[in-house]
Amino acid sequence: MAAVVGGLPFGLAEVITPTVLGFAIINGFTFAVDITSLVALRSGLGWPVPLAITLAYVTAFGLSYALNRALNFLSHGAVGPQLAVYVAVVVVNYLVWIMCLGAGLAAVGIDYRVSRLVAGCGEAIYMYVAMRWLVFRDP
């Protein structure tokens, strides 16, 4: 990631850090897992929106934790305390961005896929900041 960021044009290398790029790639992938799971559960199996959102979310965020810990933030800290902080961060994220904004927008008539994408934008910023400075912070 450092080599890729170092080669970015227009001064972007001074704004985008290697962990931001790594986070974007990993969480872009896990967001795709989230959306694919959501569509499969809601449109394919007919599950209620809150239940489909929840299961897709839990799957994607478990994968996000593992990939970011191992590949992006290269954390060697104790898993227990990190996981406890991560769970707290994810619960806040779930309640604010997913259920209040995402499910709320769906409840007022916006397509559940669009509402999930809108919620995902705020969620991305919140989660990077929380993972960088709370979950995987340098000791």
**In this structure, are residues 13 and 6 in contact, taking their beta carbons and an 8 Å threshold?**
yes
Question: What is the predicted pLDDT for the residue at 74?
Answer: 92
Tell me, yes or no, if the pTM score tops 0.95. Answer: no
**Distance from first CA to last CA of the chain, Å, rounded?**
22
Confidence tier at 139 by pLDDT (50, 70, 90): low
97 phi/psi in degrees, rounded to 5: -85, -40
| 67-115 pLDDT per residue, tens | 999 999 999 889 999 999 999 999 999 899 988 998 899 999 999 889 9
Q: Give the three-state DSSP class for 5.
A: helix
Can you read off the two tokens belonging to residue 120? 């995902």
As a whole number of angstroms, the distance between CA 100 and CA 103 comes to 6
| 24-83 pLDDT per residue, tens | 999 999 989 988 999 999 999 999 988 998 899 899 989 999 999 999 999 988 999 999
Using CA atoms of 67, 60, 13, 17 in order, give the dihedral in degrees to the nearest 10. -60
Name the residue ranges covered by the structural domains of the chain.
Answer: 19-135
